[in-house]
């Protein structure tokens, strides 16, 4: 589920508000999106894929992370290179090679 | 309905409901056929639905007779001999053309093989769908995001003539009058947290049946994906290389991703099951990471190495998203049994190309591109021939929108009641008449309550409608599942474990308050044969 909007990275482009299929975000004070309806989050990672500044983090669980979880700590996530991981794989963002170009899995065993 | 007044009325030739692969192809082809098009999506066209957040195989087969023959033959047994050769041929042709178009026009970056040839049998969901959105926008289609369709509009003759939708941000409704309508709203996964599928609540089937359409194959609705416990990662492909284990780390005999999923389901009834993707070479590991990056995204964040660590798994319901049941298709244009109403993608039955079993996204992706294209062209032609529409139109929405009594039921409670009966694999994956019958009765009772008391205001209007659609879907599913007293395709009856040659037919289902199921009559005008 979506756990973090890293306010200091956010440029207020509203892309996450637009692309979220389940309308999890609202525009908050000062233009920074806020997680207004976390219970609507379907853990699809699309907001992360579209965030141009790697300011969002979706934890790998389909239910909210515990209050003291590292997944809710933007400083920890940034320090451990966990922000922007999905975009790196997709190759989205300037100067990157599109992941689709090399997305070839192995032949199936049957 | 208790929303604010309709704030806007749009007029167009073709209304497309749903902005996934089927809806976007429908919008592209309708526009190219000369129609003005409005596309509405519950979420956001390009990032919403079952495809945008996954990678999917595509049933793309080179135009070589031997390869095509093998591709078609391989599905007939799995699907229980309910598919049609003419439809498989058409879908293989159309899918080939659409994927080539995707490369040439949308400039999708297909991988290149060692001989320099493009590989077009696999798509990365986010890349595919963002390019579909751009293409649709460039063609001048009016896209309304976060605007779920609530109900269809028909004229005095019952011809589909548009829809009323909800602008979620404002809570106001939008009325869209159209010469024809394409339903491409996805299947129904009952908000099981299957990846990207919480928006797929069977709205298309409900709107279609309210207009008089018929469904087909609703018993083929018990696909369950393998997922690491507690996650939404319902991507099953790589479990073909997995071994499944008990808690004491001994392998479970006969358990597997494909035919061995029944063993997994049975074991899960008694004890936890663990997986490890340990039948891979080093080269295959590297290939897997490239093939499906978001599969590993979740494992990496969980701190699990799926190649070396044991991890607990569960089975997650995917309903008619990965099932094959849906709105019956009446001709080669993907018309339904309602004039002016077309169905595409997971809203429509996919039995015509894969019978009662899909086994993966490949056929559904091919069907979405093909049926969407046909429905878009068909709807454009219908709208053009129809000419002027009558001034007065009737809105058809009932359950969840216009209760017979006082509003007094919460949509969350309704959804939870449906989920209790359809999400547990012990009830739905392996079915038994003794469980289906009381579950169906309970769901009928839920429907009566919905009819009497379910409604909502503002943005929640569409939530109430979703809940009503899921109740309807569950009842059609279990009604058909009770009727098919055999095991065929994905439909597995513990009390009827073998295939019965006398039931080799598709089952039609329909009705809202009183549901019926009957075999499709021989010679019915499916597949364009009687068109």
Q: Smallest Cβ distance to B43: which of A22, A86, A89? A: A22
Q: How many CB atoms lie within 10 A of CB A13?
A: 15
Distance from CA of B60 to the nearest CA of A (A): 15
- Sign of the CA dihedral running B479, B480, B485, B488: negative
> Do A103 and B53 lie within an 8 Å CB cutoff?
no
Containing structural domain, residue A38: 2-100
| Contact criterion met (CB below 8 Å) for B16 and B184 | yes
Q: What pLDDT was estimated at residue B290?
A: 85
Q: Smallest Cβ distance to A98: which of B127, B291, B298? A: B127
> Do A90 and B279 lie within an 8 Å CB cutoff?
no
Domain presence at residue A67 = yes
- Number of compact structural domains in chain A: 1
Residue ranges of B 160-199 with Cβ closer than 8 A to chain A: 168-169, 193, 195-199
Q: What pLDDT was estimated at residue B521?
A: 78
Q: B354 by DSSP, 3-state: which?
A: helix
* Residues from chain B contacting residue A105 (CB–CB below 8 Å): 122, 237-238, 287-288, 290-292
Q: Report the run of H or E that residue B228 belongs to, with start and end.
A: strand B223-228
Q: What pLDDT was estimated at residue A30?
A: 85
- CATH number of the CATH domain containing A35: 3.30.70.20
Q: What pLDDT was estimated at residue B388?
A: 79
Q: B318 by DSSP, 3-state: which?
A: strand
CA B38 vs CA B24, B28, B31, B98, B138: distances in Å: 11, 11, 10, 21, 13
> Do B232 and A42 lie within an 8 Å CB cutoff?
yes
* Residues from chain A contacting residue B113 (CB–CB below 8 Å): 104
> Do A90 and B126 lie within an 8 Å CB cutoff?
yes
Helix H segments across chain A?
Answer: 15-19, 46-50, 74-79, 85-90
> Which of B42, B78, B126 is the mutation pick for testing A, counting most A CBs within 10 A?
B126
Which percentage of chain A shows pLDDT scores above 70?
99
Domain presence at residue A110 = no
Q: Is A64 on the interface with B (CB under 8 A)?
A: no
Domain presence at residue A92 = yes
* Residues from chain B contacting residue A21 (CB–CB below 8 Å): 42-44, 47-49, 52, 196, 198-199
Q: Report the run of H or E that residue B450 belongs to, with start and end.
A: helix B433-453
Q: Chain A residue with minimal CA distance to B120?
A: A104
Q: If one looks up domain B223-318 in CATH, what number appears?
A: 3.90.700.10
Q: What pLDDT was estimated at residue B360?
A: 67
Domain presence at residue A105 = no
Contacts of B233 (CB under 8 A, 6+ apart): A60, B195, B227, B294, B295, B298
Nearest to B156 by CA among B493, B495, B507, B393: B393
> Do B193 and A62 lie within an 8 Å CB cutoff?
yes
Q: Is ipTM strictly over 0.95?
A: yes
Q: What pLDDT was estimated at residue A15?
A: 97
> Which of B43, B195, B462 is the mutation pick for testing A, counting most A CBs within 10 A?
B43
Q: What pLDDT was estimated at residue B459?
A: 93
Q: What pLDDT was estimated at residue A13?
A: 96
> Do B124 and A86 lie within an 8 Å CB cutoff?
no
> Do A44 and B52 lie within an 8 Å CB cutoff?
yes
HSE-up of residue B39 (Cα within 13 Å, Cβ side) = 35
> Do B196 and A89 lie within an 8 Å CB cutoff?
no
pLDDT digits (tens, 9 = 90+) for A89-103: 999 999 999 999 998
Q: What pLDDT was estimated at residue B1?
A: 52
Residue ranges of A 18-37 with Cβ closer than 8 A to chain B: 18-23
* Residues from chain A contacting residue B110 (CB–CB below 8 Å): 100-101
Q: Chain A residue with minimal CA distance to B232?
A: A62
HSE-up of residue B520 (Cα within 13 Å, Cβ side) = 21
Domain presence at residue A108 = no
Helix H segments across B77-201?
Answer: 85-104, 125-138
Q: Smallest Cβ distance to B230: which of A20, A61, A71? A: A61
> Do B53 and A45 lie within an 8 Å CB cutoff?
yes
Helix H segments across B454-525?
Answer: 460-483
Distance from CA of B184 to the nearest CA of A (A): 16
| DSSP conformation letters of B243-296 | EEE-TTSPBPTT--SSTTHHHHHHHHTTS-EEEE--S--HHHHHHHHHH-HHHH
What is the Cα–Cα distance from A87 to A73, expressed in whole angstroms?
20
| Domain ranges (residues) in chain B | 8-221+320-389, 223-318
Name the pTM for this structure. Answer: 0.96
> Do A49 and B47 lie within an 8 Å CB cutoff?
yes
Q: Which residue has the tokens 């289906």?
A: B436
Assigned fold of B8-221+320-389: FAD/NAD(P)-binding domain (3.50.50)
Distance of CA B162 to the CA centre of its chain: 21
Helix H segments across B21-109?
Answer: 21-32, 65-76, 85-104
* Residues from chain B contacting residue A73 (CB–CB below 8 Å): none
Mean pLDDT, contiguous 10-residue spans, chain B (531 residues): 66 98 98 98 97 92 94 90 95 98 98 94 96 98 98 97 97 96 98 95 98 98 95 91 96 88 94 96 91 90 96 96 96 97 98 88 93 98 89 95 96 98 95 97 98 96 98 98 97 97 96 97 55 32
Residue B528 CB-density burial (10 A; 0-12 exposed, 13-18 middle, 19+ buried):
middle
> Do A85 and B283 lie within an 8 Å CB cutoff?
no
CA B488 vs CA B75, B474, B475, B493, B496: distances in Å: 13, 19, 20, 9, 10
Q: B312 by DSSP, 3-state: which?
A: strand
* Residues from chain A contacting residue B230 (CB–CB below 8 Å): 61-63
Q: What pLDDT was estimated at residue B359?
A: 65
What is the Cα–Cα distance from B298 to B48, expressed in whole angstroms?
19
Nearest to B132 by CA among B41, B199, B35, B60: B41
């Amino acid at each position: 589920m979506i756990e973090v909007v890293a306010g200091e990275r956010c440029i207020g482009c509203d892309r996450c508000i637009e692309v979220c299929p389940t309308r999890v975000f609202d525009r908050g004070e000062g233009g920074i999106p806020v997680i207004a309806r976390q219970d609507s989050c379907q853990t699809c990672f699309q907001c992360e894929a579209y965030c141009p500044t790697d300011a969002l983090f979706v934890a790998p669980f389909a239910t909210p992370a515990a209050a003291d979880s590292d997944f809710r700590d933007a400083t920890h996530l940034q320090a451990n290179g966990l922000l922007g991981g999905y975009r790196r794989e997709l190759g989205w963002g300037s100067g990157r090679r599109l992941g689709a170009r090399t997305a070839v899995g192995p032949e199936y065993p049957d | 309905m208790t929303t604010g007044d309709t704030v806007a009325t749009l007029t167009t030739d073709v209304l497309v409901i749903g902005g996934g692969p089927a809806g976007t192809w429908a919008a592209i082809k309708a526009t190219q056929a000369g129609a003005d098009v409005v596309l509405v999506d519950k979420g956001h066209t390009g990032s919403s639905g079952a495809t945008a957040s996954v990678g999917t195989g595509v049933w793309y087969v080179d135009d070589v007779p031997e390869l095509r023959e093998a591709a078609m033959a391989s599905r007939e047994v799995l699907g229980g001999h309910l598919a049609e050769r003419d439809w498989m041929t058409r879908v293989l042709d159309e899918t080939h053309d659409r994927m080539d178009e995707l490369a040439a026009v949308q400039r999708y970056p297909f991988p290149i093989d060692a001989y320099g040839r493009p590989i077009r049998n696999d798509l990365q969901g986010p890349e595919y769908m963002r390019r579909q959105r751009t293409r649709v926008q460039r063609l001048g289609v009016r896209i309304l995001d976060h605007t779920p369709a609530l109900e269809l509009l028909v004229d005095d003759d019952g011809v589909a003539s548009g829809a009323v939708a909800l602008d979620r941000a404002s809570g106001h409704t939008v009325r869209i009058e159209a010469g024809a309508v394409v339903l491409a709203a996805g299947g129904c996964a009952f908000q099981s947290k299957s990846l990207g599928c919480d928006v797929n609540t069977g709205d298309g089937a409900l709107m279609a049946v309210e207009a008089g359409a018929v469904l087909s194959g609703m018993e083929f609705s018990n696909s369950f994906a393998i997922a690491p416990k507690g996650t939404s990662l319902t991507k099953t492909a790589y479990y073909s290389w997995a071994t499944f284990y008990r808690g004491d780390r001994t392998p479970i005999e006969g358990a597997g991703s494909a035919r061995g999923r029944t063993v997994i389901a049975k074991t899960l009834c008694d004890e936890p099951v663990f997986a490890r993707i340990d039948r891979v070479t080093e080269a295959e590991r590297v290939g897997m990471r490239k093939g499906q990056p978001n599969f590993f995204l979740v494992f990496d964040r969980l701190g699990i190495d799926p190649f070396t660590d044991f991890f607990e798994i569960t089975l997650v319901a995917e309903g008619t998203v990965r099932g094959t049941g849906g709105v019956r298709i009446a001709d080669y244009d993907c018309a339904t049994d309602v004039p002016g109403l077309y169905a595409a993608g997971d809203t429509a039955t996919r039995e015509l190309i894969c019978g009662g079993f899909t086994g993966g996204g490949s056929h559904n992706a091919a069907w979405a591109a093909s049926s969407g294209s046909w429905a878009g062209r068909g709807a454009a032609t219908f709208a053009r021939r129809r000419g002027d529409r009558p001034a007065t139109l009737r809105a058809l929405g009932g359950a969840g929108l216009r209760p017979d009594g006082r509003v007094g039921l919460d949509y969350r409670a309704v959804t939870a009641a449906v989920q209790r009966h359809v999400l547990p694999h012990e009830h739905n994956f392996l079915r038994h008449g003794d469980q289906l019958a009381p579950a169906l009765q309970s769901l009928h009772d839920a429907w009566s309550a919905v009819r009497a008391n379910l409604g909502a205001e503002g943005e929640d209007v569409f939530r109430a409608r979703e809940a009503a659609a899921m109740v309807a879907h569950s009842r059609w599913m279990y009604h058909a599942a009770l009727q098919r007293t055999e095991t065929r395709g994905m439909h597995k009856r513990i009390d009827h474990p073998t295939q019965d040659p006398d039931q080799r037919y598709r089952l039609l289902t329909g009705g809202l308050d009183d549901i019926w199921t009957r075999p499709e009559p021989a010679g019915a005008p499916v597949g364009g044969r009687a068109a």
